[in-house]
Each structure stands twice: as C-alpha cells, then as structure tokens.
Chains A and B, each alone.
Chain A
Amino acid sequence: MVKSNMHKAALFFLPLWIAVYFSLNKIIDFLIFDLLGLAKGTHFADAAWFFFFEVPKVLLLLTLIVFVVGIIRSYFSPERTRRMLGGKKLFAGNVLASLLGVVTPFCSCSAIPLFLGFVESGIPLGVTFSFLIAAPMINEIALVLLFGLFGWKTALIYMSTGLIIAMLSGYIIGLLKLEKYVEPWVYEVKAGRLETAEENPSFSDRISYGIDAVKEIVSKVWIYIVIGIAVGAGIHGYVPENFMASLMGKDAWWSVPIAVLIGVPMYSNAAGIIPVVQALLEKGASLGTVLAFMMSVIGLSLPETIILKKVLKLQLILIFVGIVAAGIIIVGYIFNLIY
C-alpha cells in the first residue's frame, strides 16, 4: 500500500517538477525584485539572484537525474558486469568496461572486493582498470551540475573525455603486462559463489530504488551544493572578471599540469567541486584547465589509491596514477586548443 502511494507521488511530482523548473526564472525574478524590492544591476542583487536561482535549479536537476540514474543502475550489478566482461579481449573489453563503469553502482569503499572479484574471474588487468577509472571519474552528480550550470555540451564533453581516458589508460595498462605488480595473494583468492538467487525486481521495485537513491544522495550533498553556490554567488557579484585569466587562462601553458598536480591529492565529492569550477570559469580560467582540475580531483583521489595499496604494489599504483594524470593533462590541452 505504502509503496503504490509512493509511486503515485512520483508520477505526480514529474509534471510539478517540469512546471517549477521551467518557470523558476520568473519565480525568482518576482521574489528578488518585486517582493524584496532589490534594485536590478547592483552587485548584491546580482549575487542574491544567482544564489536563489541556482540552488533550487541544481537541486531540482539533481533530484531528477539521481532518480533516473537510480532506476538505470538497478538493471546493472557488479555480478552482471563481470559476466558481460568475461572473455572479452583487450580494447573491446576496455570500451565495454568503461561504459559499464558509468552505469554499474560503485562506491570507492568497494573498490577492493570488486577488483578481486574481477581478477579472480579472469578479467584482464587492463580491462579491470578501465572499469576502476571510469566508475569514479564519470560521476552522475558532476554530470548533473555541469549540465545545469554550463549546458549539455559541456556535460557531454566531460562524459566522453572521461570515457576515452578510462578506455585508453586501461588499454595501455593491459599492454604493459603489469600483472607482476599485483600483490601475489590476489591471485590466490578463491572467491565463493553467491548462493542468493538472481533477483529480478519489478518495475515498481526499481522506482523504489530510484527514490532511495534520491533520499540517500540528496540528503548527503545538498549542503555542499548550497555552500558551493553561496561561494559562487559571492565571487559572481564581487570578484572582477578575468581575475583568474593570468593564472589559469589559455596562455598560461603550465596551468594544466599544475592544475592536475594540485587536483590529484585533493579529495572532494563532485558536488563540492563543481561550484568552484563554475567560479573559476566565470573569472577567466580556461575550460581545459578547469576540466583537468576537476577530473583529477574527482577521478584520482588519495584515499582511493591508499585503499588500492592493499592489492597493488607501489609501482603499479604509480603507473596507474601517472597514466590517468597524463590522460587528463592531454585532455586539458586539447580543450584549451579547441575553445
């Protein structure tokens, strides 16, 4: 009973969502200029408008996308992904693994069991790495925020470059034959077989998964989004344009590797980093440099590499970080050239 009510509510929310999202502009105009009576064109009104418009907009987008992604993910599980990757050769395997990395539910705390499960079932090391690179790097929250703040083109660019880096990095790791740098005990692991029957949830179960995903993720990240946008609003109204141009602009060729060097040890969730990205871009930093910074923060993180130390020798970790960082740097340069 409770369940079916929830689904009706979900159906009811969709038109409401559309109505609010597409008239948000007018609602906020009314609120800021008519109700509060702020004068158009002042720094304060600009910043306030930005804040009160972006927060609900991003939260609305986040809710919808997380819901849809939650439903999509219910069709994928690590077990199914592993089965699909079994017997795949290099390259074809890398392409598939990167794509599956985007849709398979993944949390970096599960990186080890997943790695062991893949390797134990005979999936090549390079293919496993494509998955492990794509999964954190292409993040649905980052995708939503890029889409909401910069439009679908930037979101698409982020996703496709992330995929290419994951495919190629995994492919190269595969070619280098680095199995000797995996801790020997990994190959001795005998994984048991799961006895639980393959679940085949109904569509209404999948809707519940989507709702659960929204509850879990939105309750966790909303505060970062509000803080991030508040910072963004402050910068939007008060920091001069082109402030970042000389530091992170196109002409500063060294800015891309520096951005990656700073980004790799930094760890932030996607929701926290995007408003920073927005502020940097607005003040004259170039897209390639900012993209490189963002990808290195989200895709390569110190905690995750420390977790991987349990199964990989230092050499392989360094090679892995090196190849991915190089890929990110190349993408950064390419974007600085194009845009």
Chain B
Amino acid sequence: MIIKILGMGCAKCNKLEEKVKEVAKVNGIEAEFIKVNDMQEIMKYGIMMTPGLVINEKVKSYGVIPKEEQILQWLKEC
C-alpha cells in the first residue's frame, strides 16, 4: 500500500502524517509513505485544500485531519 500525504509542509500536514503512521503502526499495517510537496504534483489530485491524504492513488480526504476510526477503515479497505 502506498500512502501519500499532499501538502507544502504546513502544521496540519505533519500532524496528518504522524496520525496515519501511528494508526498503521498500532494496527500492524504495512505501508509506504510518500510526502508530496510539489504544488503541480499536488494539483494533479484535484484538491484545493491541504493536507490531502491519498491511499493507492485515491484521494481519501483533504483540508481536514480525519478521525482515527475513519483512517483505520480506509487502511483496511486497501
């Protein structure tokens, strides 16, 4: 599973990354994390608010830090 965090290094972006890593770790889910800082790259996902959470090239959330249960559900689906 490839998890991308889209954002240009805002506080929320770092928080999102930490949270998703934590949820994956606690539940023993293996994933590769990629940080996407490049604006043109970010825009390809069509979001207008950062941070964006992309799992296996699908945009799961943007502009917010989702709740843990929600993140876990996404991780399990993939």
Show the binding face of A for B, using Cβ within 8 Å: 78-79, 82, 105, 107, 109-110, 112-114, 116-118, 120, 185, 189-196, 310
With A190-B43, A192-B45 known to touch, is A113 a contact of B50 (CB < 8 Å)?
yes
CB distance from A195 to the nearest CB of B (A): 7
* B16 adjacent to chain A (CB < 8 Å): no
Determine the chain B residues whose CB is within 8 A of the CB of A79 once the complex forms: 48
Across the A-B interface, give the 8 residue pairs with the lowest CB-CB distance, nearest first.
A109-B10, A117-B48, A78-B48, A192-B46, A194-B46, A110-B49, A192-B44, A191-B43
Check B8 against A109 for contact (C-beta < 8 Å). yes
Specify the chain B residue showing the minimal Cβ separation from A189.
B43
Count of B residues near A, CB < 8 Å? 21
CB distance from A265 to the nearest CB of B (A): 21
Specify the chain B residue showing the minimal Cβ separation from A81.
B48
A184 to B13, CA, bound (A): 27
* B78 adjacent to chain A (CB < 8 Å): no
- A-B contacts, 28 of them at CB < 8 A, read A79-B48, A82-B48, A107-B10, A107-B12, A109-B7, A109-B10, A109-B12, A109-B50, A110-B49, A110-B50, A110-B63, A112-B8, A112-B39, A113-B43, A113-B47, A113-B48, A114-B48, A116-B39, A117-B43, A117-B48, A185-B40, A189-B40, A192-B44, A192-B46, A194-B46, A194-B59, A195-B58, A195-B59
Which residues 17-34 of B have a CB within 8 angstroms of A?
A: none
Interface centre among B39, B45, B48 (most CB of A within 10 A): B48
Determine the chain A residues whose CB is within 8 A of the CB of B71 once the complex forms: none
CB distance from B74 to the nearest CB of A (A): 12
Specify the chain A residue showing the minimal Cβ separation from B57.
A195
* B42 adjacent to chain A (CB < 8 Å): yes
Determine the chain A residues whose CB is within 8 A of the CB of B44 once the complex forms: 190-192
With A110-B63, A189-B40 known to touch, is A194 a contact of B47 (CB < 8 Å)?
yes
Check B48 against A192 for contact (C-beta < 8 Å). no
Interface centre among B12, B44, B46, B60 (most CB of A within 10 A): B46
With A78-B49, A109-B10 known to touch, is A116 a contact of B43 (CB < 8 Å)?
yes
Check B49 against A114 for contact (C-beta < 8 Å). yes
With A109-B10, A110-B63 known to touch, is A193 a contact of B46 (CB < 8 Å)?
yes
CB distance from B62 to the nearest CB of A (A): 8
With A190-B44, A196-B59 known to touch, is A105 a contact of B39 (CB < 8 Å)?
no
Determine the chain B residues whose CB is within 8 A of the CB of A116 once the complex forms: 39, 43, 48
Check B58 against A107 for contact (C-beta < 8 Å). no
Check A113 against B39 for contact (C-beta < 8 Å). yes
- Contact partner of B42 (CB less than 8 A), chosen from A78, A113, A118, A120, is A113
CB distance from B13 to the nearest CB of A (A): 8
- Contact partner of B43 (CB less than 8 A), chosen from A109, A120, A195, is A120
Determine the chain B residues whose CB is within 8 A of the CB of A109 once the complex forms: 7-8, 10-13, 50
A103 to B11, CA, bound (A): 23
A310 to B8, CA, bound (A): 11
A107 to B2, CA, bound (A): 27
Determine the chain A residues whose CB is within 8 A of the CB of B48 once the complex forms: 78-79, 82, 110, 113-114, 116-118
Interface centre among A120, A185, A196 (most CB of B within 10 A): A196
A78 to B48, CA, bound (A): 7
